[in-house]
């Protein structure tokens, strides 16, 4: 009976540990809002306790070498592949926030927050001013 209790407690802590180890970092597939077609692979990574995301691959045929014509500053006319589009998100509970996300299609930067909905589903919200004025996308994790 004692062994069963010890084993049960071990499984409980193992389950809690695996739930806590889920992270927003990794490779994520993005989708076009209008068509639902897969658009790109974005790698989300942590640097100095902040979250960043860069475009690893463009999945849309014929757009693999596209540049960010409408971007401003140092990102203007840079290839979208390799471009850092998520910058400076900080952790607040289950959400990463207070950073920005770039839409390479229109060159605009928006405030951003991301939340891990499940191990393989990421909620990405870009907005202007307050979160009510924005758009949400759901990205899916790409297997390693």
Give the mean model confidence (pLDDT) for residues 35-52: 96
Q: Which residue has the tokens 């926030």?
A: 97
With beta carbons less than 8 A apart as the criterion, state whether 111 and 105 touch: no
Q: What is d(CA 136, CA 139) in angstroms, rounded to the nearest whole number?
A: 10
pLDDT of 18 > 80? The answer is no
pTM: 0.82
State yes or no: pLDDT of 47 exceeds 50.
Answer: yes
Q: What is the pLDDT of residue 3?
A: 52
Q: How confident is the model at residue 36, as a pLDDT?
A: 93
pLDDT in tens, 93-116: 999 999 999 999 999 999 999 999
């Amino acid at each position: 009976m004692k062994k069963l209790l010890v084993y049960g407690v071990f499984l409980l802590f193992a389950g809690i540990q695996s739930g806590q180890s889920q992270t927003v970092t990794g490779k994520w597939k993005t989708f076009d809002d209008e068509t639902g077609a897969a658009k790109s692979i974005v790698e989300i990574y942590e640097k100095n306790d902040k979250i960043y995301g860069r475009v690893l691959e463009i999945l849309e045929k014929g757009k693999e070498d596209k540049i960010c014509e409408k971007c401003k500053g140092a990102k203007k006319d840079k290839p979208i592949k390799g471009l850092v589009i998520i910058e400076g998100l900080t952790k607040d509970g289950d959400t990463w926030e207070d950073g920005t996300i770039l839409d390479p299609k229109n060159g605009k930067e928006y405030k951003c927050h991301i939340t891990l909905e499940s191990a393989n589903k990421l909620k990405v919200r870009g907005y202007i001013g307050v979160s009510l004025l924005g758009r949400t996308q759901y990205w899916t994790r790409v297997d390693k």
